[in-house]
Structure 1
Amino acid sequence: MSQRFTNKVAIVTGGAAGIGGAAVRQIVAEGGKVAIFDIDPVKGEKLAAELGADRATFTKVDAADAEAVEAAIRAAHAHFGALDILVNNAGIGYLAKTPDLPIEAWRRVMAIDIDGIFYACRIAIPLMRGRGGAIVNLASISGLGGDHGFAVYNAAKGAVINYTKSLAVDHAADGIRVNAVAPGLIATPTTDAMKEATELYGQWTGGIPMKRAGRPEEIAEVISFLASDAASYVTGAIIVADGGKMAWTGQPDATVLIQA
């Protein structure tokens, strides 16, 4: 495996498991050091211990708490002596159509999914100035369209996409690149629970040309590319990784007509 993150320091929010955990593992495997931020201390501390105290630290952080985010970022910077990469992965959703969506649920999703990115970036960017850096935000294909019952998630992830572009424009002259990944259906502990609804899950995967959910490690590869020097001329990009879902119009395969 390449060592493209040697002497690099990263912060990964929502880094204890799923896509965030896969990104943490990949960055460390390629020579980097990572400060893991997550709301789950059990999984976070376990991952940090597995990777080793010299390569990873864990801090319990609620991404919606601006003061906690600032304190954690400054502590990570002081501990490792630098900050080169910020992966804003923390996020949640809420299933309800608008008339049934509690105001507090709307606010909580927005607080974590978009406000949390703002809280992290406003502290991290000044720390990156002078040495450059890369920020990777986790958006979603749900930020590119609408879904039944996911209005607040759609709105939050749409905001992530446009905020990413604004950050990229504002800070290109600082040597800081800002990009986003927009995953489709990914097999994480959260989405695995959906498999119990067998028919519905089959409809989800059936609408993907590759006919399967993605793996967290596949998204971690995209994150790692965007965070690395291999993407030195890439900023303001939204990379869709969805097995072809957004490319497909949904029409059936009409070639069966000429095969008959």
Structure 2
Amino acid sequence: MWDKINIDCISGFTICPPKPCNAECKDLDVYVEKTECIYDERSQQYTGYNVNIDISGIDDTEQKACISYALTDNPGQSIQWGSLSNGSWTVGPFDSDIYLTVTVCPKYEDCPCSNSTCYKTIYIPKPDCETQKGIEKGGIGYRSGNAKIVVENTDAGELTVIPNPFNNDEIILHSTLKHTVYEIFDLSGKKIQDGDFEGIESKVKIVVSPGIYFIRYIDKARKSAIVKIIKL
């Protein structure tokens, strides 16, 4: 039997539903659809990430959404990104954990608007791009036209989580092991669930709150290995 995971760092989050935390703007909805790693072909490195968000509930005839963000290590310093309207948009690039704020402002007033109290702030952790190394190049995590996983030589571990971060209640575990045994833990070391499967992939239903979790499995050397996953 495995011992409890010892975690040295615990983070706390204030999580609001799609509606804003403040009750003064009842119509604004903001969702994070996904995060996308940015891969630089020249340097062959991940240089940051973009965030796909969906905004609704804004009166486009009189209002706009002013987008700003703050780094988590300096949350008091807000940086203006631009303005948007209702719809799905790509915001970025970013290279660290951020707090993303969507503020409803008068349409013809410059951002940041001075008197608005209608806003939504979302914590967005930087995705672990290296665990998805090779997605764009046909490595682990790449799906070919016949919907099978294509595996090439890679420095990644034997277990890969797709997508990571994730924002629904299902993930895909892709493994190069013949038989994969895994356990999922939260930040406190509490085991959430466990399982095993044969073959290269398994769909796993995981109903958890937004935050950081860990998947522990036995690698080819019969040692414990850890994969960090993030629920948005």
The answer to which structure has the higher strand fraction is: 2
TM-score scaled by structure 2?
0.27
- Larger of the two Rg values belongs to structure: 2
Query: Relative CO higher for 1 or 2, CA cutoff 8 Å, sep ≥ 6?
Result: 1
The answer to which structure has the higher helix fraction is: 1
